[in-house]
Amino acid sequence: MMEKRRCRAMAFIKGGENAPRLSGTVWLTDTPAGVRLEARVTGLPPNETGFYGFHLHERGSCAQPSFESAKGHYNPSGAPHPRHAGDFPVLLATNAADAWLSFVTTRFTVGEVIGRSVVIHANADDYTSQPAGNAGERIGCGIIQAV
């Protein structure tokens, strides 16, 4: 019996005008346990805590300067924050302004999010405030594309 081909996608993240050195990649892979997401980010601007909000947004648009064209968090079920399908764990920067994150989610499949965007925010998500966690301005964005 042939193994089912895993769907993969990726996004190149670019920083906006308030984080011009920010860049990174996000890989998404369908696995038997759910979608494995791996993010590697460099050039995060300093903030008070070293934590940065990280979310999947509705639209695959990263128009500068504010990335507002990405619209809100991906939330097909209409759940409250932090139960949106697009609510992710926060990124934690190292002293070198880099971050790496890996997790598995069952809130979506790779095929459902191709053409959407991932967004990095200037501050940590508080996982409480509605509708999106009060994570501050959008400082980085990347559009998810099939590979």
What was the pLDDT predicted at 3?
47
- Is residue 75 within 8 Å of residue 82, measured between CB atoms? no
Residue 3 lies in a domain: no
Q: Is residue 54 part of a domain?
A: yes
Domain span at residue 120? 8-146
Does a structural domain hold residue 114? Answer: yes
- Answer yes or no: is 64 within a domain: yes
Angle (nearest 5°) at CA 90 between 8 and 54: 55
Distance CA(75)–CA(78), nearest Å, equals 6
pLDDT confidence band for 4 (50 / 70 / 90): low
How many structural domains comprise the chain?
Answer: 1
Nearest to 74 by CA among 36, 108, 40: 108
Do 117 and 38 form a contact (C-beta atoms < 8 A)?
Answer: no
Task: Report the CATH number at residue 109.
Answer: 2.60.40.200
Segment 76-88, tens digit of pLDDT: 999 988 889 999 9
Q: Tell whether the model's pLDDT for residue 2 goes beyond 70.
A: no
